[in-house]
Amino acid sequence: MKKALIIGADSTGLTAAYELLTKGKGIEVILFEESNDFGGISKTVEYKGNRMDMGGLCMPCSLNNIRKIYRGVIPEKLLHLGEAACQGSVHHGSH
């Protein structure tokens, strides 16, 4: 069996692992991450009892191949909200 070694569990490393696991035939995927958290700079952290999003706010949602992956793992409602945020059109309340 072939092995794929992926260094870093950021969005790129996680995407590579996902692609190999879903489309690769007979490939063992081993993902290395230095920290205790996945996501690289794009993650939610807890600090003094508060949860905060770190890193970039928008994923490259305009790329069709990325959108296909997102649609397979993210509920449609959340995906729509994320795309609206990237376009600056999320409105809160009754405005």
Q: What's the pLDDT at 56?
A: 61
Q: What's the pLDDT at 71?
A: 73
Strands (E), the chain: 2-7, 27-32, 43-47, 50-54
Distance CA 91, CA 26 (A): 46
Q: pTM of the prediction? A: 0.60
Q: What is the pLDDT of residues 17-73, one digit of tens each?
A: 988 988 888 899 999 999 887 777 777 788 899 988 777 655 555 567 767 777 777
The domain limits of the chain are 1-34, 53-89
Q: What's the pLDDT at 87?
A: 54
**Cα–Cα separations (whole angstroms), residue 28 to 15, 48, 66:** 15, 39, 23
Instruction: Please report which confidence band the pLDDT of residue 82 belongs to, taking 50, 70 and 90 as the band edges.
Output: low
Q: What's the pLDDT at 11?
A: 80
